[in-house]
Amino acid sequence: MKTEVKTEVKSIVLNLTQHPADGIQQTMGVIEPSDKEAVKRLLTFRMCPDLDTIKLRAIRLKDVAKSHNATHALIGGAPFLMHSLEAALSLAGIVPIYAFSRRESVETTAPDGSVTKSPVFKTAGFIPAGRKVKNNLQGCGYDDLTGKKVGFWRCISSCPASDCCEGEDIWEGLLPHPYNNL
């Protein structure tokens, strides 16, 4: 008789947002990175970034998640960064997720009788990113929603265009190939 050994893989959800995980998120297993300030710096843009800066920051944030052995990453921030970050995390086998929050209004009565209303956001769950990018053996990937090829930053150094993208130029980025939509 064979004995089957089951190993349980514990989910590690790393907070890659600028904000600390709230109490509800913490009870749901969200942990903070060891260097939260570095994550904040990677998420903060003081000037309009070029695509290379966006791609590099996405890769560095992915590296932070990998260094924590994250299975999931709670993400949020500049919308122009999220697509590249989702792709970088997905390629590394890390599931990008977003927090779903409910807005509630809290009233506070001051000693003089005046009332102040303040919005409070309470986490109600997580939503996985809508797109997953799958890497094939040659280094090019496919968007699971569109089935279209996407290029990866650094792809050119490891796979010539004729080998994995059928002779198309490979755009060096974590965003869809710029010519796919023409």
So where are the chain's domains? Answer: 13-130, 131-182
Contact 108, 115 (CB under 8 A): yes
Q: Who's near 146: CB < 8 A, 6+ residues apart?
A: 176
Contact 31, 15 (CB under 8 A): yes
pLDDT tens readout for residues 2-42:
555 555 557 899 999 999 999 888 988 899 999 999 999 99
pTM above 0.85, yes or no: no
pLDDT tens readout for residues 46-56:
999 999 999 99
pLDDT tens readout for residues 61-102:
999 999 999 999 999 999 999 999 999 998 898 999 998 888
pLDDT number for residue 15 = 97
